[in-house]
Structure 1
Amino acid sequence: MKKIVVLLTLFIAFSGWSQSEADFFKKANAFFETYVNNGKVAYAKLHKDSKDLDDVLSLAKSISTSKDKADSYQAFWINSYNLSVIKGIIDNYPTNSPLDNAGFFEKTKYDLGGNKITLNEIEHKLLRAQFEDPRFHFVLVCGAIGCPPLINKAYLPETLDEQLETQTKIALNSTFLKVDNKKKRVAVSQIMEWYKEDFRMNGTTEIDFINKYRTDKIPNNFKVRYFPYNWKVNEQ
C-alpha cells in the first residue's frame, strides 16, 4: 500500500492528474485490497456496510477523463466498471447471478464521469469502440465466475499496460482454455465467441491471439470450440 501511495504522489506531480483522480485511484486501490481475495468479492460484508464502496463511487461522479490521456482514461473506466458491477450485485443482494437481475448490464445506470451510464455503455462505447485492444476482456469483470478474475488492486495509469498484459497471460494460461491434444482442438471461454472480431483484428486468428500470450503454444491446425459461460456470482 505504501508503494501505491508513493506512486500516486509522484504521478500527481508529473503526469497531470487532478487531485480528484488521484483520490479516486487511491480509494479504489484500498477498496479492492480490502474486499477482493483470490478473484472473489466479499459481497455479504459489503451488503452490511457499503460505505467504502459508496465513497469511491462518489468520487467517480465528477471526474472528467479524456481519451487524449489514454492510460488515465482507460484505467478510470476499467475501475469504474468493476466497482459498478459490485454495486449492482450489492443492490440486488442476495443474488445467484448478475443475469438474474433484469437490465443489470444494459439498463441500470451509474453516475460516473459526469454521465449517467450503463455497464454496457462503458464496455462497448467508451472502451471497445475507442481503442482496439482485446485485452479489455481480461480486466472487465462482470460479477460472475466465468469472468476473468478480479484483482485485489486498482488499475493505475502508470502500470496499466503491464496489468493488461499480466491478466491476459493469466487467463490464457489457465481457466480460459481447455486443450485436447488427442482430438486436436482447444475449448475456449465464450468471451472469445461473443467478441470474435476483437480477437481477429489485422487478419489474425483466435489461435494467433492466444499464442501471443500462452506459454504452451496451440498448434495452428487445432479446431476452436467454446465452453459454456459460468454466470454464478463470484462471491467469497
Structure 2
Amino acid sequence: MFRLPLRFSVQKILLVALLFMPFPAAAELDLETWDALLNKAVIDGDVDYTQWQQNPSFDALVDQIGTADTSEMGRQKKLAFYINAYNILAARGILDGSSPSTMLGRYVYFKRDGYLVAGNRITLHVLEHELIRPLQEPRIHFAIVCASQSCPILQSEAYTAQHLNQQLTVAAMGFINNPKHNQFNPATRHAELSSLFKWFEEDFVAAGGSLQAYLAPMVDNKEVADLLAQEAFDISYRKYDWNLNGTR
C-alpha cells in the first residue's frame, strides 16, 4: 500500500487541524469582576483606591479594555463598555500617580496619559469626546467619573447594556437632586448648578431643547420642576472641586 512520507503527513494533519481550530472570541470586559470590585471598594461614591493597587483582578480589567473588540457592539453595549472603561482607566490614572487636582495635573490626567482601548492608545479626553459623546446620550455625564469630589459619584455597580437606561436615569437624578452639586431657590428663582452643565450645555440642549427644559423632568421638587419648564431660573455655576473622591 502506498504511504505518504511521514513528514508530509504530519504537516498535512497540522494544517487541517489549524483550519478547523476555533479562534478565541474577542475579549470583552468582565463585568462580574468589575461589579465585585466596585461593590467592595465604593461606599456612597467614596472610593478606596488602595483596594485596587497591585490588584490582579483590576489589572486584568485594564488589559481587557485594551483587547476588547467594539466593532460588533450595538449602541447600548458600546455605551456600557465605554462608561465602564472610562471609570476603570480614570482609577488607573490615580493608581499610577496622576491627579486632576491641579491645572497641570488635569492636562496630564486627561490629555497626556494614554491607555489602550480596543486596540488603540488614547487619552481619557479622546475616550470621552470622540468615542462616548458622539453616541448622543447626555446622561453619560452623570456616569463617567474623573475621580474628583465635584464629579458624579462612582456607582457601586458596573454598567450593563441590559440595565443601562435605568442605571443612567438613577445616576442623572441622583446628581441633579444632590444639593452638594446643584441648588435651586424657587423664591429668588436662582439656580446654582454644577459646572458640568456649563461645559456640556450643548449636549443637554440637544436632548431637551434647553438646559432648563432638560433638567425639569428630573428634579424631585415639583415647584422647581415647573419653574424650570418655564425657563424661569437665572443660572450661575459652582466652582469645581477637583480633590480626590476617596482614599489614594
What's the TM-score bracket when you normalise by the shorter of the two chains? 0.7 to 0.9
How many residues align? The count is 215
- Name the residue aligned to 2:146: 142
Q: Which amino acid aligns with 1:166?
A: V
Q: In structure 2, do the counterparts of structure 1 residues 162 and 20 end up closer, same or farther at CA, with 3 Å as the change threshold?
A: same
Distance 1:203 1:27 in 2: 36
Q: Does 1:34 align with 2:40?
A: yes
Give, in angstroms, the shift of residue 98 of structure 1: 6.9
Where do 1:143-222 residues align within 5 Å?
143-174=147-178, 175-201=180-206, 204-216=209-221, 217=225, 219=227, 220-222=231-233
Q: 2:89 aligns with which of 84, 89, 108?
A: 84
Q: Taking structure 1 as the reference length, what is the TM-score of the superposition?
A: 0.84
Give 1:44 deviation, angstroms. Answer: 3.0
CA RMSD of aligned residues (A): 2.0
Q: Could you say which structure has the larger radius of gyration?
A: 2
Query: How far 1:41 sits from its partner (Å)?
Result: 1.2
Report the CA distance between 1:68 and its aligned residue.
Answer: 5.3
Find the counterpart in structure 2 of residue 232 from structure 1.
243
Q: Partner amino acid for 2:240?
A: Y
Is this contact kept in 2: 1:98–1:143, CA < 8 A? Answer: no
Q: Quick one: distance in 2 between partners of 1:199 and 1:218?
A: 18
Output the CA distance in 2 between the equivalents of 1:69 and 1:88. Answer: 28
Amino acid aligned to 2:239: P
Instruction: String of CA shifts for 1:7-66, please: whole Å, max 9, x gaps.
Output: xxxxxxxxxxx6732x5222221221222111011123433x332321211122211013
The residue identity in structure 2 corresponding to 1:223 is D
Is this contact kept in 1: 2:100–2:148, CA < 8 A? Answer: no
CA contact (8 A) 1:178 1:188 kept: yes
Alpha-carbon distance in 1 for matches of 2:171, 2:55: 27
Quote the residue 1:69 is aligned against.
74
Gaps of 5+ in 2: 1-24
Q: Distance in 1 between matches of 2:44 and 2:219?
A: 21
1:223 matched to 2:227? The reply is: no
Distance 1:214 1:112 in 2: 35
**Match of 1:232, SS?**
coil
What is the distance in 2 between the residues matched to 1:52 and 1:98? 30
